[in-house]
Chain A
């Protein structure tokens, strides 16, 4: 049953992706992106990653969608018709996909417990979390305690990205716009 739900959700995900690739109305694409994120969150719940699902639902479907719509408000909704032929990108994507599918035959099957990944450090955390930290949610204890350095670095990345956006957007609100208007007037006269 688990496998069946998983497969249905993944197929829906693929269908939505086709829509995202083919549509040229960016508003529709962004809303489809929100649906995509919610579906991805459901898939993640089926795959037992509840923390990740929660993050994906709030970040992917919430914040990213709102940010993209805000930017879309400032630009054009309709995407221009592609000038170049899509053959070369299709070829590149097709070859990459073929190579990767060939690679999957060497990977262990889905859902097995005796794979290399499921027998090393990940499962050690399951045994150690309660005696070491007293925290039942192993994801939290690994995130904040065992791998605290990772999370510190990651918080710093979020901090840096925030600073970057503020540097790009806060100052000089109208300088560039004014310059463009000036140029337009000059070219008219």
Chain B
């Protein structure tokens, strides 16, 4: 158990960079490769790495199970909610052009941003929940 000091220290060093990279992929997805799916998986991978090194209960103290299970439907709701909002602004479902008063292109940018946030929330929390379920079973 004591022999994995190197792994533990390296994990602690790498975690912040993994999370920053996840948010870079998320918010820079319009201009470079990336988007909600990739960012969600990378963020989930960071937490899974933490859980592998420090144990499942340590990870569950950081991100509790109940929170993860609330976040899974929340992401889908953010996504579908964006569509419903554009519906109320006299546009088609998931047509984001109406989301901005100034210019349809701004509306599209806002729409893509919120939708990607929804994807991020659902994908990352689903991956974490699945890992928690498998890991909790193994004990």
A→B interface (CB under 8 Å): 50-51, 53-55, 58-59, 62-63, 66-67, 70-71, 73-74, 131-137, 139-141, 143-145, 148-149, 151-152, 155-156, 158-159, 161-163, 165-166, 168-170, 173
Contact = CB atoms under 8 A, between A and B. Distances in A.
Given A51-B38, A162-B129, A137 B76 contact: no
A169 B134 contact: yes
7 contacts: A50-B33, A54-B33, A63-B48, A63-B127, A148-B115, A158-B126, A169-B134
Contacts of A66: 45, 48, 52, 131
Contacts, number: 142
Contacts of B115: 144, 148, 151
Interface in B70-114: 72-73, 75-76, 79-80, 83, 94, 96, 104-106, 108-109, 111-112
Contacts of B116: 140, 144
Nearest to A135: B30
A145 B112 contact: yes
Given A55-B37, A58-B45, A137 B32 contact: yes
B138 A73 contact: yes
Interface in B11-51: 25, 29-38, 41-42, 44-45, 48
A27 B34 CA distance: 31
Q: How large is the interface on B (under 10, 10 to 19, 20 to 34, 35 or more residues)?
A: 35 or more
Nearest to B48: A66
A165 B119 contact: no
The interface residues of chain B, by DSSP majority, are classed as: helix
Interface of B: 25, 29-38, 41-42, 44-45, 48, 52, 69, 72-73, 75-76, 79-80, 83, 94, 96, 104-106, 108-109, 111-112, 115-116, 118-119, 122-123, 125-127, 129-131, 133-138
A146 to B, nearest CB: 10
A137 B33 contact: yes
Contact of B109 (A131, A134, A162, A166): A134
Contacts of A133: 105, 108-109, 112
A59 B40 CA distance: 10
Contact of A166 (B25, B41, B108, B129): B129
Contact of A152 (B94, B129, B130): B94
A71 B29 CA distance: 33
Given A135-B108, A148-B94, A155-B122, 18 more contacts: A51-B34, A55-B37, A55-B41, A58-B41, A63-B41, A63-B44, A66-B45, A66-B52, A74-B138, A132-B108, A134-B109, A137-B32, A144-B112, A151-B115, A155-B75, A155-B76, A163-B72, A165-B134
A170 B136 CA distance: 8
Given A151-B119, A155-B76, A166 B35 contact: no
B32 to A, nearest CB: 6
A71 B72 CA distance: 22
A143 B4 CA distance: 42
